Amino acid sequence: MNKESDFPKLVSAGADALIVYLGEGISVSVNQRVLAAVRAVEQKLSDVVLDLVPSYNSLMVYYDVLNIDEPEMRERLKNALQDLTSDDRNQTGKRHRIPVYYDKSVGPDLSRIAETNNCSVEDVIKAHTKQTYRVYAMGFAPGFAYLGEVSENIRTPRLENPRKKITAGSVAIAESQTAVYPSASPGGWNIIGRTSTQLYDPSSGTISPLNVGDEVEFYAVDKQEFIDEGGDTETLS
């Protein structure tokens, strides 16, 4: 098992990128360290960095190969990451509250999650809304935020056979994570409800209101509230 002293660890990721590993697994402390690395790199390597993609325990750094080669980039990255401070790691992101209509008509896996975990549908909803979730990574599709961690009482494996189309706004669980599908797409997560909140709007100038390090709370609304807020009623019964 790696120790904290083994990090940061730099790995080549193609001709124009390096992955910087700041730790292992899913944890707030490691993810905060990733965000501290983002700030350090932005401050000290802005002249050669093209893009930064933070994730659970790593940071993908894309750099300008016309102005710097990999050996020099590695050296500059190591120097930039030497002084990550605890103050940087303790900074928090925005908090978002997302309404969810939890119902079998829009959450076809609600009953199965309850059966799998020997509890009621109401217990699943309570467990899901009780937690405050951290945005650990963005990916899979524009605006798709990986949120953790789900209560052990309702953790459920991904579907063996992914669905060909999941409606935008669907709220889902897979293992220890939860997420909202920001647009219609295939997917293998367990669907437990739907939100009217739009999490992907290319016309707004930003891909998503959510960013790594932010916190998300879900709260239950009834069918009429969901409809009044513009929720997609396509499959409602």
- The Cβ of residue 202 has, within 10 Å, a number of other Cβ atoms equal to 10
Q: Give the residue ranges of DSSP H helices in 45-69.
A: none
Does one domain contain both 54 and 121?
no
Report pLDDT for 85: 59
Report whether 173 contacts 196 (CB < 8 A): no
User: Block means of pLDDT (10 residues each) for the chain, length 237 residues?
Assistant: 73 94 90 92 95 93 96 95 63 89 96 96 97 92 92 95 94 96 94 94 81 96 94 70
Does one domain contain both 202 and 144?
yes
Q: Is residue 65 part of a domain?
A: yes
DSSP state of 88: H
As a whole number of angstroms, the distance between CA 129 and CA 60 comes to 32
Report pLDDT for 67: 95
Does one domain contain both 104 and 78?
no
Phi and psi torsions of 86, nearest 5°: -65, -30
Report pLDDT for 26: 86
Q: Is residue 234 part of a domain?
A: no
Report pLDDT for 147: 97
CATH number where 216 lies: 2.40.100.10
Q: What is the pTM of this model?
A: 0.84
The residue segments making up the domain with residue 14 are 4-89
As a whole number of angstroms, the distance between CA 172 and CA 68 comes to 42
Number of structural domains, the chain? 2
Peptide bond into 234 cis (omega under 30): no
Q: Is residue 75 part of a domain?
A: yes
As a whole number of angstroms, the distance between CA 29 and CA 147 comes to 15
Taking the CA atoms of 207, 212, 214 and 219 in sequence, report the sign of the dihedral they define.
positive
What residues does 218 pair with on adjacent strands? 98
As a whole number of angstroms, the distance between CA 101 and CA 196 comes to 9
Pick the closest to residue 109 from 183, 184, 151, 161 (CA basis).
161
Report pLDDT for 194: 97
Q: Is residue 233 part of a domain?
A: no
Report pLDDT for 87: 47
Q: Is residue 104 part of a domain?
A: yes
Does one domain contain both 79 and 154?
no
